[in-house]
Chain A
Amino acid sequence: MKIPMTEYLAIDLDREMWECRCCGHVIQSARENYKKGLLVYDRNPREIHKPLLDTTKYQRSFAPDPAWCALLEYYCPSCGTLVETEYTVPGHPPLHDMEFDIDALRAQWKDRPAPASVEIPDDDERIRKLRETHAH
């Protein structure tokens, strides 16, 4: 059974592996940091948050200071999806952000039906239908 854990990551309980939800690439043991199976890029944050003010005139320009802010991008090595971003301080150890108890996860899903698409209460389409139901 594959449990979707984030927009782009699933845990395959049978193989106990992190998997890319976009291409099915097997990333890393689910008992370890999924980031170890991804590619990392130290992106200059000013490439994403570009200076809007003339940097020859001003020191502050709506763009982060690369000495104070690093932006790590994690890519799936198979399909190149940007799985996660991490805003941090230059040189700070990357976070082991998700560490789940795989045995407990298996026990939790033992009696649950296989994951299907989840209904989101505030989805536009659902709200539209609810309104139609109550329309007079």
Chain B
Amino acid sequence: MGHTDNQMKAALSADEQALLDTFLEENSLFYGPDPAIMRDHHIGPRTEVEDALLNSELDPHALNLVRGRLHAALDETYDMVEQMGTAPGAKWGDLVTAVYTATGDLSSISPKGVVVFSGVCHYPLKFIAKYWAHDPTVGLREGDGFIHNDSRYGNIHNTDQSMIMPVFHEGEVICWVSSTIHEGENGACEPGGMPAAAESKWDEGLKMPPFRIVENNQVRRDLLTFLQNSVRDPKLQYEDVKVKLHACLRLIERIRSVIAEYGKENLIACLRKNIEDVDVEVRRRIREMPDGTVRTHAFIDGTLRENVLIKYNLTVTVKGEHMILDVRGSSPEFTNRSINTTLASLKTCIATAYLLYIWPDLPHNMACFSAVEVLSDENSLLDSSFDAPNCMSLIPLFKSFTLPTIALAKFMYSCPTRYTAIYSSHFNQPYTFIYGGVTQHGEVTGNFCADINGNGGGARENRDGEHAVAPCFGYMCDTGEQELIEEELPVLRLVAQHLTKDRVGFGKYRGGLGYEQLITSRDAGFWGFMTGGTGSLHPSAYGLFGGYASPVYTLCKIREVNVFDTLKTDPRSFKFDLVELMNEQAIPGAKYGAYDMGMTFEPVQEGEVYMICQGAGAGYGDVLDRDPNLVIRDLEEDLISHETARALYHVVYDTDSLVLDVEATRAARAAERESRKRRGKPFDEFVAEWVRPEPPEDLPYYGSWDDPTRIYAGQGAGRVVMQRGAVQGVMMPNPKDVRIAELEAQLAAATAGRG
């Protein structure tokens, strides 16, 4: 007591100091996430072996053959996991297998795999190498397998689980392999692994830093039992640990055959060259872009618990071969809401956007992002602290697949080479039903429907977006087989893949449509649904170069009725269309409601109907530039209404025959252009009238306004302003407390003066 650090240091001799340092080094209280690992997304330096090999005469044909063999092995193991995996995510392609260099940089992934899953795996892998490999109580041996899911050590969210294994050759680690699945259930406070209701990281369920669960290629049953005992679906946990293990073992077997045939030198050189070639090419492509700054932002309209406006700020600067992404000025983190993300997850998702929408021709590894620097505010929504919950990080992360696409389109349009068509925004919300309960087979489960994979594609500069094509995070994930789902779960889909008429981003080229999902429950012991999306007040996916955004979406319910009784007694009252069902309200006694897309877990009774739409992609270009024949085709395919064709696209045609009147259309569009010129105001005049110095006082607003160094949080008298460098997390009140306070105020007002 009473000694300062300096006094203590002054009192220690050199030997004592050395002893103290050794003691502290050997007695870490807790090996938390290491910022030195977690904040560095760059590829590491070459090892001596790699350097010597890459400076030697390499046989490009041999390297190409090795690369082909690795890709074949990665493709084979992807198929293994997809065929054998138990998780719905595995069956529908939310998975990947991957191979890394000896120092842990991602070199190659399965061609159909989800880049983000392996893109974050190098973080836990580097943690294993740094902390466990040399720890006498852990170590690193041939046949070891490490399991991992905590995003604070490198993951998108902790519903994804990975198996990571070192590959030994002649007693040394020559490379690493991994296999990752979106598993779903993980013992969180809500079933299904993505709990919107989580208010602390302790509500998120399993929280696994990388630890060895496999020894001598065998799963340790005691540890597996601990994991099974911690989740609602022990069968899922059991089977998929083994599936991922055997995918890794097959990869190791294939790598050994590559070494036997081509030598370890060609393997090491190939793995490293995959990375360096991408890095070199990315720097060349950045140099092709014009120097300058592009600013963009997006607004998230809720936390999944309450409506608030949350800013995602993104400024991209290019100079020569350098690119800086600056997300400072975004919202502070929410200390008791689940939508925060770690910086490492954010970077991986942005890198994936580069590989999916900007340079899809590049080999899929994280070197595509090594030339890019990211600036962020610590304790913000996009760079959240160790303690902030982040199990629904998908809310900002899904925007990270589309916002960079919009920004980079403005850099790439002038480039002399196109690597793909300029792309508007893919739809970017995780709209699907998450479920939990007891199945018709008496099994407890919790997971999510693969409709999350049915996002509508964004419009391109040369064509319309594709309908319900893929999730924004991967291009080969599918929406699943409904019959298979109904065999396993007490969930019936009353309407399937019914495209969402008039709900799309319009433009010269329109986005791809989403589809309606009308589901109910039957033969369950206990059952419930949740949804985890925003975008009910403010659109989620913005258009490009005059294109419009996706619309907003609404969760609809028909409750206090058993629709199976209705279908028996009065089938005509049930319309197989969401809009008709909701507007006609034809089922007697039913309670109809329309809500925000974020819903925490809610028990349902048999036959109650829950309805959502998968979202549509955004549009590209001016609606008046849309080929009128394409508008007629949209009418023929029932994708738009006559009102949209006439009022928005200004196309003139015969209603019955749909025969286009070319001249009248030309005149109508010319008239609309004149109308625009009349109603538009000069910019400076408009700004003087319209712009406010601060966010509207009554709007719950989080993030910067015009100055990214001043960050607002809240509304009215409770609003605080933080300066850059001093951003703090925000704690939200319990929505039920807010509601109770509102009702008490109403009650007090109603009873005022009654004594």
Q: Chain A interface (Cβ within 8 Å of chain B)?
A: 3-8, 33, 35-42, 45, 48-50, 52-54, 57-65, 67-69, 73-75, 77, 79-85, 87-101, 104-105, 108, 112-113, 115, 118-124
Is B662 in contact with chain A by the CB < 8 A criterion? no
Q: Chain B interface (Cβ within 8 Å of chain A)?
A: 290-297, 299, 301, 307, 309, 319, 361, 409-410, 413-421, 460-463, 502-503, 506, 508, 536-539, 542-549, 551-556, 579, 582-583, 585, 592-596, 620-625, 643, 648, 672-677, 679-684, 686-687, 690-692, 695-696, 699, 701, 705-706
> Which of B290, B417, B506, B536 has the largest number of chain A CB atoms within 10 A?
B290
Q: Closest residue to A77 on the B side, CB-wise?
A: B677
Nearest CB of A to B554, in Å: 4
Q: Are A48 and B546 in contact (CB under 8 A)?
A: no
> Which of A33, A77, A89 has the largest number of chain B CB atoms within 10 A?
A89
> Which of A42, A59, A64 has the largest number of chain B CB atoms within 10 A?
A64
Q: Are B542 and A98 in contact (CB under 8 A)?
A: no
> Which of B421, B461, B552, B705 has the largest number of chain A CB atoms within 10 A?
B552
Q: Closest residue to A34 on the B side, CB-wise?
A: B683
Asked, given contacts A48-B648, A94-B687, A123-B462, whether A64 binds B290 with beta carbons under 8 Å apart, the answer is no
Minimum-distance CB pairs A-B, first 9: A39-B680, A80-B673, A91-B692, A100-B292, A58-B594, A104-B291, A7-B545, A82-B622, A49-B551
Nearest CB of B to A26, in Å: 15
Q: Closest residue to B548 on the A side, CB-wise?
A: A48
Asked, given contacts A61-B594, A65-B537, whether A48 binds B506 with beta carbons under 8 Å apart, the answer is yes
Q: Are A50 and B680 in contact (CB under 8 A)?
A: no
Q: Are A40 and B418 in contact (CB under 8 A)?
A: no
| A-B contacts at CB below 8 angstroms, number | 246
A63 to B552, CA, bound (A): 6
Q: Are B413 and A37 in contact (CB under 8 A)?
A: no
List of A residues within 8 angstroms of B552 by Cβ: 49, 62-65, 69
A77 to B613, CA, bound (A): 38
Nearest CB of B to A17, in Å: 15
Q: Among the listed B419, B460, B579, B677, which residue makes an inter-chain contact with A53, where contact means beta carbons less than 8 Å apart?
A: B579
List of B residues within 8 angstroms of A108 by Cβ: 290-291
> Which of A6, A61, A65 has the largest number of chain B CB atoms within 10 A?
A6
Q: Are B622 and A101 in contact (CB under 8 A)?
A: no
Q: Are B547 and A101 in contact (CB under 8 A)?
A: no
13 contacts between A and B (CB under 8 A): A6-B413, A7-B508, A48-B548, A58-B582, A64-B551, A67-B699, A69-B538, A77-B677, A79-B673, A93-B706, A98-B292, A98-B294, A100-B290
Asked, given contacts A75-B676, A91-B690, whether A3 binds B414 with beta carbons under 8 Å apart, the answer is yes
A43 to B675, CA, bound (A): 13
List of A residues within 8 angstroms of B673 by Cβ: 79-81
Asked, given contacts A39-B682, A48-B648, A118-B416, whether A96 binds B295 with beta carbons under 8 Å apart, the answer is yes
Q: Among the listed B293, B503, B624, which residue makes an inter-chain contact with A99, where contact means beta carbons less than 8 Å apart?
A: B293
Given A8-B621, A90-B692, 17 more pairs with CB closer than 8 A: A7-B508, A8-B545, A53-B583, A60-B555, A65-B552, A68-B699, A75-B680, A77-B677, A80-B677, A83-B622, A89-B699, A91-B695, A98-B410, A100-B293, A108-B290, A120-B462, A121-B420
Q: Are B622 and A8 in contact (CB under 8 A)?
A: yes
List of B residues within 8 angstroms of A83 by Cβ: 545-546, 622
A15 to B414, CA, bound (A): 18
A40 to B543, CA, bound (A): 17
List of A residues within 8 angstroms of B416 by Cβ: 112-113, 115, 118
Q: Among the listed A84, A90, A93, A124, which residue makes an inter-chain contact with B462, where contact means beta carbons less than 8 Å apart?
A: A124
Q: Closest residue to A70 on the B side, CB-wise?
A: B690
Q: Are A35 and B290 in contact (CB under 8 A)?
A: no
Q: Are B585 and A57 in contact (CB under 8 A)?
A: yes
Asked, given contacts A49-B539, A87-B539, A105-B291, whether A61 binds B546 with beta carbons under 8 Å apart, the answer is no
Q: Are A118 and B545 in contact (CB under 8 A)?
A: no
Nearest CB of B to A72, in Å: 8
A4 to B422, CA, bound (A): 13
Q: Are B690 and A120 in contact (CB under 8 A)?
A: no
Q: Are A80 and B548 in contact (CB under 8 A)?
A: no
Q: Are B545 and A84 in contact (CB under 8 A)?
A: yes
Q: Are A120 and B421 in contact (CB under 8 A)?
A: yes
A11 to B413, CA, bound (A): 12
Q: Are A104 and B676 in contact (CB under 8 A)?
A: no
Q: Are B592 and A57 in contact (CB under 8 A)?
A: yes
A62 to B77, CA, bound (A): 42
List of B residues within 8 angstroms of A6 by Cβ: 409-410, 413, 545
A88 to B421, CA, bound (A): 26
List of B residues within 8 angstroms of A101 by Cβ: 290-292, 319
Nearest CB of A to B457, in Å: 12
A37 to B685, CA, bound (A): 11
List of A residues within 8 angstroms of B551 by Cβ: 49, 62-64
Q: Among the listed A81, A89, A118, which residue makes an inter-chain contact with B546, where contact means beta carbons less than 8 Å apart?
A: A81
A84 to B416, CA, bound (A): 23
Q: Are A89 and B683 in contact (CB under 8 A)?
A: no
Q: Closest residue to A80 on the B side, CB-wise?
A: B673
A90 to B549, CA, bound (A): 17
Q: Are B553 and A122 in contact (CB under 8 A)?
A: no
List of B residues within 8 angstroms of A82 by Cβ: 546, 622-624, 676
List of A residues within 8 angstroms of B462 by Cβ: 120, 122-124
List of B residues within 8 angstroms of A4 by Cβ: 413-414
Q: Are B583 and A122 in contact (CB under 8 A)?
A: no
Asked, given contacts A73-B680, A119-B418, whether A91 binds B291 with beta carbons under 8 Å apart, the answer is no
Q: Are A81 and B699 in contact (CB under 8 A)?
A: no
Q: Among the listed A54, A65, A81, A118, which residue makes an inter-chain contact with B418, where contact means beta carbons less than 8 Å apart?
A: A118
List of A residues within 8 angstroms of B556 by Cβ: 53
List of B residues within 8 angstroms of A74 by Cβ: 680
A120 to B460, CA, bound (A): 11
Q: Are B421 and A122 in contact (CB under 8 A)?
A: yes
Q: Closest residue to B692 on the A side, CB-wise?
A: A91
Q: Are B677 and A123 in contact (CB under 8 A)?
A: no
Asked, given contacts A53-B579, A85-B546, A120-B418, whether A105 binds B290 with beta carbons under 8 Å apart, the answer is yes
Q: Among the listed A8, A53, A94, A112, which residue makes an inter-chain contact with B582, where contact means beta carbons less than 8 Å apart?
A: A53
Q: Are B542 and A87 in contact (CB under 8 A)?
A: yes
Q: Closest residue to B686 on the A side, CB-wise?
A: A40
